[in-house]
């Protein structure tokens, strides 16, 4: 907001408080003067003058109320994370298929398009079990480019903050099809992955190779696929259930409680997770 030249919330609230103060003060003055008026005509004149003063105050200072309303509307668009529910954060370079994977495995419906930084904020969905409802929340973050962290824009900084401050499972998405654009080349994606692993060595981590329905691009032939990576195609659905199972493995005690309840209810042992998007 500040980069757009808009005032911070603290400044907006100060202006609204000042408007409220001036409105209350002028209303009180008018009421007191009206109570002391010599007759009805004098009281009516005091009322008219008071209303005119209030109109002038609001004509010159009511912008603060509109700014506060606009701020509230922006806040409504911010995903609300449930601190008591496991969280999965999808990260990677732009255009590698993160948003499509969120759509594949969860209830989230982020914008999907092939241009840098389609995701300009955090989008969120939930993985649901048909019997027990939401199991975990899935967060789609803006893409990160292979460059110095000091040069990250505010969207890339948002992604870094999500990894750093949300207790989550990190799903790093790699696209080796060559369709993500030159800034998201296989080499650049490898650099970003290495850098994030270095920054967050203790984070729970799942590697995903996306767009596996497409042929691997020749420029990615020298890039080693991380061991244990899940191969996913959002076009064919390949890898969806494997990815869901891997996610459930990382949600800890919540998953164990869920599986125990399912086994008791359905009367099966070693029951695989029954999860629907």
Q: What is the DSSP string of 95-106?
A: TSSHHHHHHHHS
Q: Rounded to an integer, what is the distance from CA 161 to the centroid of its chain?
A: 11
H/E element, 125: strand 123-129
Q: What is the pLDDT of residue 114?
A: 40
Q: What is the pLDDT of residue 79?
A: 65
Nearest of 83, 114, 132, 149 to residue 258 by alpha carbon: 132
pTM of model > 0.75: no
Q: What is the pLDDT of residue 117?
A: 42
Nearest of 32, 76, 25 to residue 54 by alpha carbon: 25
Residue 97, phi-psi category: left (phi > 0), alpha (psi -120 to 50), beta (remainder): left
C-alpha to C-alpha distance for 116 and 121, rounded to whole angstroms: 13
Q: What is the pLDDT of residue 111?
A: 42
H/E element, 29: helix 9-35
C-alpha to C-alpha distance for 1 and 71, rounded to whole angstroms: 9
Nearest of 122, 80, 126, 123 to residue 105 by alpha carbon: 126
DSSP secondary structure, 215-268, as one string: PPPGGGTTSPPPTTPEE--TTT-TTHHHHHHHHHHHSTHHHHHHHHHHHHHHT-
Per-residue pLDDT of the chain (277 residues; tens, 9 = 90+): 666 778 888 999 999 999 999 999 999 999 999 999 999 999 999 999 999 999 999 999 889 999 999 888 877 776 677 777 888 899 999 999 998 888 888 765 544 334 444 445 667 788 877 776 777 888 888 899 999 999 998 889 989 988 988 888 999 999 999 999 999 999 999 999 999 999 999 999 999 999 999 988 888 878 889 899 999 999 999 999 999 888 888 775 445 555 555 555 555 444 444 444 4
Q: What is the pLDDT of residue 266?
A: 53
Q: What is the pLDDT of residue 217?
A: 87
């Amino acid at each position: 907001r500040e980069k757009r030249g808009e005032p911070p919330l603290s400044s907006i609230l100060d202006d609204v408080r000042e408007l409220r103060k001036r409105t209350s003060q002028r209303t009180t003055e008018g009421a007191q003067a009206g109570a002391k008026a010599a007759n009805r005509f004098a009281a009516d004149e005091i009322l008219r003058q008071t209303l005119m003063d209030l109109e002038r105050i609001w004509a010159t200072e009511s912008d603060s109320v509109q700014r506060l309303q606009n701020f509230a509307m922006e806040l409504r668009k911010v995903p609300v994370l449930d601190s008591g529910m496991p969280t999965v954060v999808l990260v990677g370079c732009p255009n590698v298929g993160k948003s499509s994977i969120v759509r594949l495995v969860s209830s989230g419906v982020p914008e999907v398009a092939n241009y840098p930084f389609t995701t300009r904020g955090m989008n969120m969905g939930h993985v649901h079990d048909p019997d027990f409802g939401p199991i975990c929340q899935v967060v789609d973050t803006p893409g990160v480019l292979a460059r110095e962290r000091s040069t990250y824009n505010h969207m890339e900084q948002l992604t870094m903050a999500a990894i750093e401050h949300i207790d989550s499972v990190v799903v790093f998405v790699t696209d080796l099809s060559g369709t993500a654009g030159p800034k998201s080349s296989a080499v650049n994606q490898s650099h970003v992955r290495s850098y994030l692993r270095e920054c967050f060595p203790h984070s729970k981590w799942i590697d995903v190779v996306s767009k596996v329905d497409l042929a691997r691009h020749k420029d990615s032939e020298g890039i080693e696929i991380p061991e244990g990576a899940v191969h996913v195609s959002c076009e064919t659905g390949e890898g969806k259930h494997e990815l869901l199972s891997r996610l459930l493995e990382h949600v800890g005690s919540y998953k164990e409680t869920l599986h125990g309840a399912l086994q008791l209810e359905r009367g099966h042992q070693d029951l695989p997770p029954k999860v629907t998007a």
